[in-house]
Amino acid sequence: MDAARVEELILEGKNSQEIRKKLKGRTQKSYEIKNKGKKVAQEVISTVKLPHPIYIDSASGGTMTDVDGNTYIDTTMGFGPIILGHNHEAIKDALNAQMEKGWLFGLPADQQFELGELLTEASPCAEEVIFANTGTEATMYAMRAARAFSGKSKIGVFDSAYHGGHDYALLFATYEEGTNSKPNGMYASAGISNVIKDETLMLLPYRNEAAYDMIRKNKDDLAAIILEGSQNSNPRLNNKDFLQGLRDVCTECDVLLILDEVVTGFRVDYGGIQGYYGIKADLATYGKILGGGFPIGAVAGREDIMAVFSGKGGERRIFHGGTFNGNPFSMVAGIAALSYLKEHKDTVYPSLMEKGNRLANEINDFCEKNDYPAQILNAGSKFHMKFQREPINSGFDIKNYYGGKHKQAENEFYLHLLGQDVIVPGVRLSFICDAHTDDDVSKIIDSMKYSFNAVREDGLF
Ligand SMILES: Cc1ncc(COP(=O)(O)O)c(C=O)c1O
């Protein structure tokens, strides 16, 4: 169906019209805020195609409430950090206690050691830890550390990866002659020098053993490879063989293996993806859950490599610093979150896994039976719906990154879902948290089914 015809169907569609009317009618304050905020360069990932974003006023447990008073089941979860649910009591208590003592010292406090201990205990590769403020900083520092330690200049990055917003993290893939064994690099952002792409990065294919030989051939230039053990772009938990292969090749070639655990850390297992698969990286990067909902990043890893941060590595010392690194609020929130997770890990993780799998399985069965062009990919409680029936082995197979043929139907689907009071972030990567009840998960499933049917009734697929 061509785009113009789809647009017509949206305009004509009874359900399309009704949902727009309903959503606009109940989000007037959001509309006013949008107009007020015109002079601010906002980083708003609009949730759905309304004339205005939905602005949030408060959140609690598994829900968020917007400025107009509408309450939604939230699957954004702060883009991943909120694993226990919004406003968790243990974290709130820790923050309140810290509030009385002060919120920024610059100089270190004992809490940095406490959170560092919790991280080194949980992360299989962590002998030492440094803190930063974001996952972006963590991956940037890990790459710098790998270059300094090895004396080599290039970092291998994988297609369909996300490692944050710095210049070394935004190389996306195009492919040669329809094969995913040789991805070509293309920046996902203007303003980055080609020198970075050509001289400091090397693009590798994810879930494709061709990567092994590429590493072997380039081992003299490659300081490290960095990857997510389960990519945000195609969440799954069947990557063990691929990761083990990479672990073996890296050891064989003296190339460092950096696992980006910014999302998977404390999410798929208390020990992150390394704990889940039983595979140890040389360095791992953390963020999100580690900060209990406050800004954080961390690099953890082998003591001999981490020595480049402290100067124990002599001449190879690298710069690492920042005003808010190890700030008290991030530390105490992180300690509270990790302590809770550690104590309840035998119940929290199986329950998150079960809820995420039930959601994915029920929706995937429903889509298959009814021939809806959609599927959910999930790594336990982290999930991403893709609007295509074709199987997805890796990011290479994903058709709807830049507007696949079901793009409009997808947008329409999320409008209906919002109308059913389920909010999914604009980037579509979604999370179940511990505060989501079985009934919440059932409500998400029912709302998704309702939304598929509403879109089909309008003739969009
Ligand atoms: C896998 C991964 N690495 C790094 C980052 C960057 O983290 P931050 O947004 O805290 O800079 C993200 C953020 O979503 C991520 O998903």
d(CA 148, CA 171): 22
**pLDDT of res. 172:** 86
Q: pTM for this one?
A: 0.95
Rounded mean pLDDT of the chain?
93
**pLDDT of res. 407:** 85
**pLDDT of res. 52:** 79
- Over 80: is that where the pLDDT of 182 sits? no
Question: In testing the pocket of ligand 1, which one of 288, 294, 324 has its CB within 8 Å of the most ligand atoms?
Answer: 288
d(CA 179, CA 394): 12
Residue nearest atom 3 in ligand 1 by C-alpha distance: 163
Q: What's the mean pLDDT in 431-460?
A: 97
**pLDDT of res. 417:** 96
Handedness of CA 386, 391, 397, 400 (dihedral sign): negative
d(CA 74, CA 430): 9
Of 30-34, 110-114, 136-140, 177-181, which gets the smallest average pLDDT? 177-181
- Over 80: is that where the pLDDT of 48 sits? no
Q: Which helix (H) or strand (E) holds 345?
A: helix 328-370
Q: What's the mean pLDDT in 210-221?
A: 98
Model confidence at 40, pLDDT cuts 50, 70, 90, reads low
Residue nearest atom 4 in ligand 1 by C-alpha distance: 163
Nearest atom, ligand 1, residue 295 CA: 10
- Over 90: is that where the pLDDT of 398 sits? no
Model confidence at 251, pLDDT cuts 50, 70, 90, reads very high
How far are the Cα atoms of 169, 268, 275, 427 from residue 45, in angstroms, in the given order?
20, 25, 32, 7
- Over 90: is that where the pLDDT of 1 sits? no
Model confidence at 134, pLDDT cuts 50, 70, 90, reads very high
Of 183-192, 319-328, 424-433, which gets the smallest average pLDDT? 183-192
DSSP secondary structure string for all residues of 408-428: HHHHHHHHHHHHTTEE--TT-
State which amino acid sits at residue 134.
T
Q: What's the mean pLDDT in 441-452?
A: 98
Q: 186 near 192, Cβ under 8 Å?
A: no
- State the distance from the centre of ligand 1 to the C-alpha of 125, rounded, in angstroms: 19
Question: In testing the pocket of ligand 1, which one of 143, 162, 228 has its CB within 8 Å of the most ligand atoms?
Answer: 162
| Whole-number percent of the chain with pLDDT over 70 | 93
pLDDT in tens, 290-308: 999 999 999 999 999 999 9
- Over 70: is that where the pLDDT of 441 sits? yes
- Over 60: is that where the pLDDT of 435 sits? yes
Owner of token pair 């785009």: 3
DSSP secondary structure string for all residues of 294-306: S--EEEEE-HHHH
d(CA 227, CA 84): 26
**pLDDT of res. 180:** 75
More confident residue, 4 or 231: 231
Question: Would you say the CB of residue 135 lies under 6 angstroms from ligand 1?
Answer: yes
**pLDDT of res. 401:** 59
Question: Would you say the CB of residue 287 lies under 6 angstroms from ligand 1?
Answer: yes
pLDDT in tens, 336-381: 999 999 999 999 999 999 999 999 999 999 999 999 999 999 999 9
**pLDDT of res. 426:** 85
Q: Which residues contact 321 (CB under 8 A, 6 or more apart)?
A: none
Task: Count other C-beta atoms under 10 Å from residue 332's C-beta.
Answer: 25
Q: What's the mean pLDDT in 87-106?
A: 97
Q: Residues 217-248, buried b or exposed e (16+ Cβ, 10 A)?
A: ebeebbbbbbbbbbbbbbbbbebeebbeebbe
Q: 182 near 216, Cβ under 8 Å?
A: no
Question: In testing the pocket of ligand 1, which one of 163, 239, 325 has its CB within 8 Å of the most ligand atoms?
Answer: 163
